[in-house]
Amino acid sequence: MSESTAPIARPPAPTREHYLNVKYGIKSWLLTVDHKRIAILYLISITAFFFIGGAAAVLIRLDLATPAGDLVSSETYNKLFTIHGIIMVFFFLIPSIPAVLGNFLVPIMIGAKDLAFPKLNLLSWYLYMIGGSFTLWAMIAGGVDTGWTFYAPYSTTYANTHVIATALGIFVTGFSSILTGLNFMVTIHMMRAPGMTWLKMPLFIWAQYATSIIMILGTPVLAITIVLIAIERLLGVGIFDPALGGDPVLFQHLFWFYSHPAVYIMILPSMGVISEVISAFCRRAVFGYKFIAFSSLAIALLGFLVWGHHMFVSSQSPYAGMVFSLLSFLIAVPSAIKVFNWTATLYKASISYQTPILYAFGFIGLFTIGGLTGLFLATLAIDVHVHDTYFVVAHFHYIMVGGAIMGFLGGLHYWWPKMVGKLYPEAWARFSALVIFVGFNLTFFPQFLLGYLGMPRRYHVYDPEFQVLHVLSSAGASILGIGYLIPMVYFLWSLRYGKDAGPNPWDAKGLEWTIPSPPTTFNFEEPVTVGDVYDYPTEDETPPWKQGSSEGAHV
Partner 1 sequence: MDETTNYRAQSVRIFLALMVLTAVTVAVSYVNLGALNLPVALLIACTKAGLVLVYFMHLKGNLRLLWIVAGSGFLFLAILITLTLSDYFTRQAVG
Partner 2 sequence: MSEIGEHHGALAHHFEDLEQQRQSADLGMWIFLATEIMFFGALFAAYAVCRWMNPAGFSTGTSLLDVPLGTVNTAVLIGSSLTMVWAVQAGHRGDSRSIIRNLVGTLLLGSVFLVIKALEYSHKFHDGLVPGSLFTYGGEQAAGVEMFLCFYFVMTGLHALHMVIGFGLLVWLILLARRGRFTKEYSNPVEGVGLYWHFVDIVWIFLFPMLYLLEH
Partner 3 sequence: MFENFPLFPDQVSASAGKVDALYAFLVIVTIVFSVLIFTAVLFFAVRYRRRKQGELAKTVHSSLKLEIVWSVVPLILALIMFGWGADLYFEMWRPPTEALDVFVVGKQWMWNLLHTEEGQKELNTLHVPLGQKIRLTMISEDVIHSFYIPAARVKADVLPGRYTRLWFEPTKAGEYHLFCAEYCGTKHSAMIGKVIVMPPVEYERWLSGGAGSEPLDVAGERLFGQLGCQSCHGAEGNQRGPSLAGVFGSKVQLQDGRVIVSDENYIRESILNPKAKIVAGYEPLMPTYEGQVSEEQLIQLISYLKTLDEKDSN
In whole angstroms, the minimum distance from the beta carbon of 274 to partner 2 comes to 27
Chain residues 87-106 in contact with partner 2, contact rule CB under 8 A: none
In whole angstroms, the minimum distance from the beta carbon of 254 to partner 1 comes to 8
Q: How many CA atoms lie within 13 A of 203 on its CB side?
A: 29
Indicate which of partner 1, partner 2, partner 3, none lies near residue 159 (CB less than 5 to 8 Å, by partner kind).
partner 3
Q: Do residues 325 and 378 make contact, with C-beta atoms less than 8 angstroms apart? A: yes
Chain residues 23-62 in contact with partner 3, contact rule CB under 8 A: none
Q: Do residues 211 and 265 make contact, with C-beta atoms less than 8 angstroms apart? A: yes
Buried b (16+ CB within 10 A) or exposed e, 343-369: eebbeebeeebbbbbbbbbbbbbbbbb
Q: What single string gives the DSSP state of each residue in 187-232?
A: HHHH-PPTT--GGGS-HHHHHHHHHHHHHHHHHHHHHHHHHHHHHH
Name which position in 55, 129, 237, 249 contacts partner 1 (CB under 8 A).
249
In whole angstroms, the minimum distance from the beta carbon of 181 to partner 1 comes to 12
Indicate which of partner 3, partner 1, partner 2, none lies near residue 308 (CB less than 5 to 8 Å, by partner kind).
partner 1
Nearer to partner 3, 187 or 328 (CB): 328
| C-alpha torsion 224→226→231→234, nearest 10 | -170
Nearer to partner 2, 130 or 231 (CB): 231
Task: Tell me the residue type at 500.
Answer: D
The C-alpha angle 406, 407, 410, rounded to 5 degrees, equals 85
Length of the chain as a residue count: 555
In whole angstroms, the minimum distance from the beta carbon of 471 to partner 3 comes to 7
Indicate which of partner 1, partner 3, partner 2, none lies near residue 235 (CB less than 5 to 8 Å, by partner kind).
partner 2
In whole angstroms, the minimum distance from the beta carbon of 219 to partner 2 comes to 7
Task: Tell me the residue type at 224.
Answer: I
Q: What is the CB neighbour count within 10 angstroms for residue 319?
A: 8
Task: List the x/- string, 457-486, binding to partner 3 by CB under 8 A.
Answer: xxxxxxxxx-xx--x---------------
CA distance 369 to 478: 22
Decide: is 526 part of the binding site for partner 2 (CB under 8 A): no
Chain residues 174-203 in contact with partner 2, contact rule CB under 8 A: 178, 182, 185-186, 189-191
Helices (H), 236-331: 248-281, 289-302, 318-330
Indicate which of partner 1, partner 2, partner 3, none lies near residue 228 (CB less than 5 to 8 Å, by partner kind).
partner 2
Name which position in 151, 431, 445, 493 contacts partner 3 (CB under 8 A).
151
Task: List the x/- string, 252-281, binding to partner 1 by CB under 8 A.
Answer: -xx--x------------------------
Decide: is 245 part of the binding site for partner 2 (CB under 8 A): yes
Buried b (16+ CB within 10 A) or exposed e, 183-203: bbbebbeebbbeebeeebbbb
Nearer to partner 3, 62 or 380 (CB): 380
CA distance 96 to 90: 10
In whole angstroms, the minimum distance from the beta carbon of 219 to partner 1 comes to 12
Task: List the x/- string, 198-227, binding to partner 1 by CB under 8 A.
Answer: ---------------x---x---x------
In whole angstroms, the minimum distance from the beta carbon of 217 to partner 1 comes to 5
